[in-house]
Amino acid sequence: MTDHRLERGAGILLPVSSLPSPFGIGTFGQAAYDFIDFLKAAGQKYWQVLPLGPTSYGDSPYQSFSAFAGNPYFIDLELLEQEGLLPERRAEEVFWGENEEYVSYETLYKNRFPLLKEAFSKSRHRETEAYLAFVRENSYWLEDYCLFMACKDHFKGKEWLSWDEDIRFRRPEAVSRYKELLKEETAFWAFCQFKFYEQWERLRDYAAARGIQIIGDMPIYAALDSADVWGHPGLFQLDEENLMPKFIAGVPPDAFSETGQLWGNPLYDWKAMEAEDFRWWRQRIRSSEKLYDAVRIDHFIGITRYYAVPGGAKDSVKGAYEPGPGKKLTDALNETAKKLHIIAEDLGVVTPQVRSLLKENGYPGMKVLAFGFDGDPANEHLPHNYKETNCIVYGGTHDNETLAGLFCDKSDEVLTYLFELMGGRDRGQIVDFLFRLAYGSIADVVIFQAQDVLKLDNSARMNTPSTLGDNWKWRLKKGELGEREAGWLSFLVRVYNRY
């Protein structure tokens, strides 16, 4: 079994989408290699990314068309030009948006796929051994995903629950008919996955050669409008008449929301999962092992118990907790993981069962500095209260305000305890102090968002939960992370022994 503990060190959380590039969104191109060089210069060991899956309505990487596929937006167009699959400078002729600091997903959706289809039409990949091996190695999910995406285009982007009944229910004669009808479209989506994995593998090899490990992120739930639910309806709590979710995921009302959060993902049928020895989950681990050195399981607490809201509900008030698979699932994950480290996102209502499961499996949990300043010196997110080294301390997560946005404009009264810890009242030193606090902790790993390295305000916030429109868009500008930031981080690494 893999030892899930990570080496003492430090890292940066930066989504691939946030990398600089001339093409509207971060890619696996030169800027990604430059970022790895920056991490090396800054003495960092870890690059943490958000989920890499193809995004759907709302652009959230946590609501993906597939738990296995990669986002075609991340395929680098300059690399395709170098292969001769696109004319030189072809991608520069296309409009990618007005603002280099924010992703325009609408523009990407309109302008990216014609170029990928142009590259596909020129490619001679289909009979190569590399492509045939890729198809064999990913047979569990690839064909379903490609047919799903081709059908989605055929039905003008509608969710699969609105498709014609025969293909919605995957009747064998309908599946065969659509495979033939959409043969070229299906081949295009397979080409995109081949290029995604090919480019990522080269980038990951580059990172490994420079001592940089990549931490991925695995959403616990599958999106309703996904190849996973369409392809494996028996693994989810769906009704037999219409395949609509009987129960959906969310979290109950709390101090932050009177109506709770309604995520809308269909819930697993854990008995059906167990009956096939958690094969779908085992495949997710195998797929993650191709992409990452470690993976954070989002909402890990849902493995011990999950919150079930009746399908069709408008809020999560009338939900109820149900028991999850617990150790049965983690045993399957551990058996499957060969080298992949598993990290537990254990935030929220952490029950004794969650703590016991983490300890038994040796999974590192999470601490978040941004959660520590409620005025209680015993707050578990404050480093002086950490009881063990096998954890990861984050400045904040993708769902939080930036540190400058959270602290630097608060009243003196609100900041009293933070000032007491700092031993001073200089607001300009708050973010630096929080870095020192985390780096000097006993936690094995410390990770800060790139926005916090740059001390950016909330205009650089990645996501505000339960909102639509302005999320998942922030991007680095070219050269924004430079020698000054690398020098500061490498200083911290040296002072706090995080080599």
Q: What is the pLDDT along the chain (499 residues), one digit of tens a residue?
A: 578 999 999 999 999 999 999 999 999 999 999 999 999 999 999 999 999 999 988 899 999 999 999 999 999 999 999 999 999 999 999 999 989 999 999 999 999 999 999 999 999 999 899 999 999 999 999 999 999 999 999 999 999 999 999 999 999 999 999 999 999 999 999 999 999 999 999 999 999 999 999 999 999 999 999 999 999 999 999 999 999 999 999 989 887 678 888 999 999 999 999 999 999 999 999 999 999 999 999 999 999 999 999 999 999 999 999 999 999 999 999 999 999 999 999 988 788 899 999 999 999 999 999 999 988 999 999 999 999 999 999 999 999 999 999 998 889 988 999 999 999 999 999 999 999 999 999 999 999 999 999 999 999 999 998 788 889 999 999 999 999 999 999 999 999 999 8
Position 468 scores a pLDDT of: 82
Residue 67 CA to residue 219 CA, distance in Å, equals 8
Residue 399 annotated to the active site? yes
Beta-sheet pairing, 305-310 with 294-297: unpaired
Separation of alpha carbons 312 and 126, rounded Å = 44
Which candidate in 399, 432, 457, 480 is catalytic?
A: 399
Look-up of token digits 């996955």: 193
The length of the chain in residues reads: 499
Return the pLDDT at 455. 98
401 catalytically annotated: no
State residue 36's pLDDT score: 98
What is the model's pLDDT at position 133?
A: 98
Q: Kindly state the helix (H) or strand (E) to which residue 308 belongs, with its residue range.
A: strand 305-310
Q: How many CB atoms lie within 10 A of CB 76?
A: 22
What is the residue-wise DSSP string for 426-487? -GGGHHHHHHHHHHTSS-SEEEEEHHHHTT--GGG----TT--SSSS-B-PPTT-S-HHHHH
Strands 294-297 and 391-394, how do they pair?
unpaired
Residue 433 sits at the vertex; the CA angle it makes with 431 and 439, to the nearest 5 degrees, is: 105
Q: Which of 76, 228, 293, 345 is catalytic?
A: 345
pLDDT for residue 348: 81
Active-site annotation holder among 76, 143, 269, 298: 298
CA distance 428 to 409: 10
Rg (the chain; Cα; Å):
23
Inter-residue contact 294 to 341 (CB < 8 Å): yes
Tell the burial category of 170 from Cβ atoms under 10 Å away from its Cβ (0-12, 13-18, 19+). middle
Q: What is the DSSP string of 130-187?
A: HHHHHHHHTTTTHHHHHHHHHHHHHTTT--GGGS-HHHHTT-HHHHHHHHHHTHHHHH
* Distance of alpha carbon 204 from alpha carbon 210, whole angstroms: 10
CATH of domain 9-495: 3.20.20.80
pLDDT of residue 1: 58
Active site residue 315: no
Cβ atoms of 322 and 355 closer than 8 Å: no
Residues 6+ apart with CB under 8 A from 139: none
Distance CA 62, CA 65 (A): 10
Instruction: Tell which residue, 175, 75, 67, 81, has the closest CA to residue 123.
Output: 81
| Burial annotation 296-316 (CB, 10 A radius, 16+ → b, else e) | bbbbbbbbbbbbbbebebeeb
